[in-house]
Structure 1
Amino acid sequence: MSALALVRASHPGPVVAVTALALALAVSEGLGPVRVVLVGAAVFFGQLTVGWSNDLVDRARDSVVGRTDKPLATGELDVRLTRLACGAAVVATVVLSLACGWMAGLVHLGCVAVAWAYNLGLKSTVLSWLPYAAAFGGLTVFVALAGQPPALPAAWVPLAAAMLGVGAHLVNALPDLADDAATGVRGLPHRLGAGGATVAAAVVLVAGSVVAATGTSSAPRTLVLAGLVVVVALGVVAVLARGRTPFRAAVAIALVDAVLVVAAR
């Protein structure tokens, strides 16, 4: 049971999603098999540290609002075990990141550091969006620098990825706005409110789609045009619909954005 609880406390959804995005970027960059594995492993362990540190920092807050989906808050998962797992993941992240090259490694460790900064306090400020922008944008720089020889990506790539990160932050916060407000978390989504955050997410994700679509001519035009049509339609739904539909539409836009960023490489 402890192993399963440990997995749940790692935020497995974001771990898998961000690792998959990194692997897709690595393949699209033409990295060799060994480098692809190193990039994926570094991002995987980095995301584990982010998820575990988040739940360790928030365990008292999660307990106050009765988060039964949080094993640390319910007492199902031992705090010491989680700290040990997180520490081991930190070591693995450092080693694997630097194995991708010292420049690439430092960039990735910077991405993980800003994610930790979010967990440690930035989430409660108006700058809560900044770690997401820096981490997602930096991820594309990390993957490009992991190539042999290392090379910086075109400027539009981290820009589009940063917009995707901001949109992901706004979307990710929507289901927890009430719980966060009850425990004093006042990040950008909370200041915008559910309606404002949904509209802002749709706008920034659509803008990111446009940046990705116009950044290069290497992606199939049919795919790009189809993606933009879908994104605009979803953006309209996110702004006009009610209930959980805007949230689902924003998530769908984020997924299309990720496909466009990878396809446009």
Structure 2
Amino acid sequence: MDTTERPPAPTRALGLPRSSAGLVLSCHPGPVAAVTVLVTALAVSSGPGAGRWVLVATAVLTGQLSVGWCNDAFDARRDAEAARPGKPVARGAVGPGTVWSAAFAALSLCAVLSLACGAWAGAAHLAGVVAAWAYNLKLKETVLSWLPYAVGFGSLPCLVALSLPGNPWPAWWAVAAGALLGGAAHLGDVLPDIEADLRAGIRGLPQRLGPARTRLLLPLPLTAATAVLVLGPAGAPAGRDFAVLSGVALCTVVATTVHIGPRPVRAWRKAALAGTVAVASADVALLLARGTDIV
């Protein structure tokens, strides 16, 4: 019988050494890629300048990497005690010291790259990154847990607009929509894990509200973000914009009120997160369609 210790399946699939794969997986690669692609697409749609696009993309990428690594390194002991799956630091696939070093290295690169986009653009983006670090280190345990998400997502249109020639300020509706989507992302992200978070002593806003009230609150920032994107830009909204708004309202209501079986089960909490993703996708499409109007 072969008793040789084998690395976890994700490590073998990546074809990387165990510690390297653990480092990659501990950065939260899905959200990192999603946010980086979104902001890069917004930068491309907002105006010309391949060099600017690269700077914006790498600034966002390094910022998101630093936030993901900070999160897993700081929560390593808590994640290990809760036996949470998918946490490479908690299961010993990579050491917390290695992840902390990567987090601070990425943060340093983010500062340089952000400021290379312009002083105001860099300051706006770094404010969002610092807010995300504050969430990881303390604010997620407080009633202000929503604030870093609002600041972080709201700072992204600022980075894109202020990196343009002349450093124009972003349109108010772009920043407001980003902040609202950030608040919704926080609610939708935390919702499936509220009970586990409460057992671990995490009492952010969604945990204090509880699953039922968080589920009922979730449609408000989502629908508000869509309304801002439809009604905020100058000019009369097109018929398709109102169709999107109506569809978003219907989607959020269905996704956050569905129950399966005689009592609520985990599936309806996942449905709320799926609804968040669907509505956020519609809002992203609206935002990208208005890329040249964000200033």
The TM-score bracket by the shorter chain reads: over 0.9
Give the superposed CA RMSD: 1.6
Paired with 2:44 and 2:283, the residues of 1 have a C-alpha distance of 17
Q: Give the aligned partner of residue 226 of structure 1.
A: 243
Deviations 1:127-163 (A, max 9, x none): 1000111111111111110111210011111011100
Q: Residues 34-183 of structure 1 correspond to what in structure 2 (within 5 A)? A: 34-183=51-200
Deviations 1:62-108 (A, max 9, x none): 01110121010111112222122212211210111111011111111
Contact residue 161 and residue 261 of structure 1 kept, 8 A: no
Deviations 1:209-247 (A, max 9, x none): 000111125798354233213201112202321223233
Instruction: Show structure 1 runs of 5+ residues with no match.
Output: none
Paired with 2:134 and 2:219, the residues of 1 have a C-alpha distance of 25
Contact residue 151 and residue 179 of structure 2 kept, 8 A: yes
Q: Give the aligned partner of residue 36 of structure 2.
A: 19
- Once the two structures are aligned, what percentage of the paired residues are identical? 45
Paired with 1:61 and 1:79, the residues of 2 have a C-alpha distance of 13
Q: Which moves more between the two structures, 192-201 or 203-212?
A: 192-201
- Bigger radius of gyration: 2
Deviations 1:174-230 (A, max 9, x none): 122122111110111111211211221111101110001111257983542332132
Instruction: Show structure 2 runs of 5+ residues with no match.
Output: 1-17, 260-267
- Higher helix fraction (1 or 2): 1
> Using a 3 Å threshold, how does the CA distance of structure 1 residues 62 and 72 change in structure 2: closer, same or farther?
same
- State the Cα distance separating 1:11 from its structure 2 match: 0.7
Structure 1 length-normalised TM? 0.95
Paired with 2:276 and 2:236, the residues of 1 have a C-alpha distance of 23
Residue type of the alignment partner of 2:103: C
Q: Give the aligned partner of residue 6 of structure 1.
A: 23
Q: Give the aligned partner of residue 235 of structure 1.
A: 252
Residue type of the alignment partner of 2:188: V
Residue type of the alignment partner of 1:50: V
Deviations 1:31-55 (A, max 9, x none): 4111011001000000000000011
Q: Give the aligned partner of residue 264 of structure 1.
A: 290
Paired with 2:186 and 2:208, the residues of 1 have a C-alpha distance of 13
Residue type of the alignment partner of 1:260: L
> Using a 3 Å threshold, how does the CA distance of structure 1 residues 62 and 32 change in structure 2: closer, same or farther?
same
Contact residue 63 and residue 129 of structure 2 kept, 8 A: yes
Paired with 1:108 and 1:218, the residues of 2 have a C-alpha distance of 29
